[in-house]
């Protein structure tokens, strides 16, 4: 049986096949993105670094940046802490029907619009919402807590949206882990703790790396959940960009912020690629 890519297309054939998509992406994606930099260097029609200076001198903006990074780091950590055991649990289920069903439960939220899931959290977090009512009924609190428009709600909402994206890569790697290695370690006398530390966890690192990178990058640039659950008090970078564009019409300034975010994203991807080596994960 001859698998996969043994048949080679000629250079011309390959280029012909790729070119429509390449053209589309270059004109309507690459060029506009690259255009952000020159757009951000203009102020009143003259070349100027004013927007970048403005961002770092007005105290509000670096605060938003730090808040964004802080929330993204927390979201990533929580997703990892919750997601790794869940991925382990999923990879361990023998009955493939149940495993398939539970896997579908993890993947299903991804197909439900982020918007829909986020405002479900609005309903849950409302003052008369079910969470407050529960907490009051077990006498943990006396008055309803105001969850909405605070960082905590944004955190929970983002964890909910991004958790499946942490689980899936880790699950995929754990599932394909060579069990014989565990057996060998056991035979050599290792106990659970060492088996995990020395074998299971290191071998799952490509999945962990992919999950962490994915979640962190998406969290940094997230718009919908922070906008709905956080409001203007818990503003993050993406909502700031939107605010500058649609409320204040500061196009050039927004371009500067957008370019910085884009640059950060690219740098993180490259860094992660160097550290974890994402090519290994490519056999999706």
Partner 1 sequence: MTESSKGKIMDYGFKLGYGKILLGLFASFMFAFLIIPSIMALPMSFTDTTFLVFPPEGFSLKWYQMVLTDEKWTLPIIFSLKIAAITTLLTLVLGTMASLALVRGNFPGKKILNIFFISPILVPVIITAFAVYGIYAKLHLIGTMLGMVLAHTILCVPFVILIITANLYRFDVSLEMAARNIGANAFKTLIYITIPLIKPGIITAGIFCFITSLDDLILAMFLVGTKRITLPIRIYSQLQFRIDPGVAVASTIFIVAAVAVVVILAFLRRERINVATVGE
Tell whether residue 65 is a contact of partner 1 (CB under 8 A).
no
- Asked if 136 touches partner 1 (CB under 8 A), the answer is no
Please give the Cα distance from 150 to 78 (Å, whole number).
18
Closest CA to 70 of 226, 205, 208: 226
Among 214, 225, 218, smallest CA distance to 154 is for 225
From the CB of 62, what's the least distance to partner 1, in Å? 19
For 161, phi and psi rounded to 5 degrees? -70, -35
Q: Which of 198, 193, 166, 164 is nearest to 181 (CA)?
A: 198
Task: Pick the stretch among 14-22, 50-58, 136-144, 146-154 that binds partner 1 (CB under 8 A).
Answer: 14-22
Cα 42 to the center of its chain, rounded Å: 32
Choices 48-56, 136-144, 146-154, 170-178; region in contact with partner 1 by CB under 8 A: 170-178
Positive/negative CA dihedral, 243, 246, 247, 248 = positive
Return d(Cα 12, Cα 8) in angstroms, integer: 11
CB of 47 to partner 1, least distance (A): 18
Binding mask 137-156 for partner 1 (x = CB under 8 A): --------------------
Q: Which residue has the tokens 């799952």?
A: 204
Identity of the residue, 59 or 111, whose beta carbon is nearer to partner 1 in the bound complex:
111
Q: DSSP assignment, residue 94?
A: -
Residue 47, beta-bridge partner list = 42
* Residues in region 24-43 near partner 1 by CB under 8 A: 24-25, 27-33, 35-36, 39
Among 69, 77, 135, 182, binds partner 1 (CB under 8 A): 182
- Residue 45 touching partner 1 (CB under 8 A): no
In the range 233-272, which residues lie near partner 1 by CB under 8 A? 238, 241-242, 245, 254-255, 258, 261-262, 265, 269
Which one of 56-64, 71-79, 127-135, 140-148 is the stretch in contact with partner 1 (CB under 8 A)? 127-135
CB of 196 to partner 1, least distance (A): 7
- Joined tokens for residue 244: 């500058």
Contacts to partner 1 from residues 66-125, by CB under 8 A: 82, 85-86, 88-92, 94, 100, 102, 104-109, 111-117, 119-124
Smallest distance, partner 1 to C-beta of residue 143, A: 20
SS (H, E, C) 129-154: CHHHHHHHHCCCCCCCCCCCCCHHHH
Answer yes or no whether residue 49 interacts with partner 1 by CB under 8 A.
no
């Amino acid at each position: 049986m001859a698998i996969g890519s043994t048949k080679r297309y000629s250079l011309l054939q390959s280029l012909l096949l790729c070119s429509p998509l390449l053209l589309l992406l270059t004109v309507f994606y690459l060029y506009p993105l690259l255009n952000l930099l020159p757009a951000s260097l203009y102020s009143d029609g003259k070349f100027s670094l004013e927007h970048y200076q403005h961002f770092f001198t007005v105290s509000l903006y670096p605060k938003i940046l730090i808040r964004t990074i802080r929330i993204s780091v927390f979201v990533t950590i929580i997703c990892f802490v919750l997601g790794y055991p869940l991925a382990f649990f999923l990879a361990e289920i023998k009955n493939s029907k149940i495993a398939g069903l539970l896997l579908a439960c993890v993947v299903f939220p991804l197909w439900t619009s982020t918007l829909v899931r986020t405002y479900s959290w609005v309903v849950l977090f409302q003052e008369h919402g079910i969470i407050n009512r529960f907490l009051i009924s077990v006498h943990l609190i006396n008055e309803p807590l105001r969850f909405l428009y605070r960082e905590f709600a944004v955190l929970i909402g983002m964890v909910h949206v991004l958790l499946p994206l942490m689980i899936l890569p880790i699950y995929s790697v754990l599932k394909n882990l060579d069990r014989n290695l565990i057996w060998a370690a056991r035979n050599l006398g290792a106990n659970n703790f060492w088996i995990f530390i020395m074998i299971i966890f290191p071998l799952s690192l490509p999945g962990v790396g992919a999950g962490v990178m994915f979640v962190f990058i998406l969290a940094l640039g997230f718009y919908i959940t922070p906008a709905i659950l956080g409001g203007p008090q818990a503003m993050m970078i993406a909502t700031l960009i939107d605010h500058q564009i649609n409320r204040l019409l500061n196009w050039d300034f927004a371009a500067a912020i957008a370019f910085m975010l884009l640059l950060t994203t690219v740098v993180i991807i490259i860094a992660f690629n160097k550290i974890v080596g994402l090519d290994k994960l490519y056999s999706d």
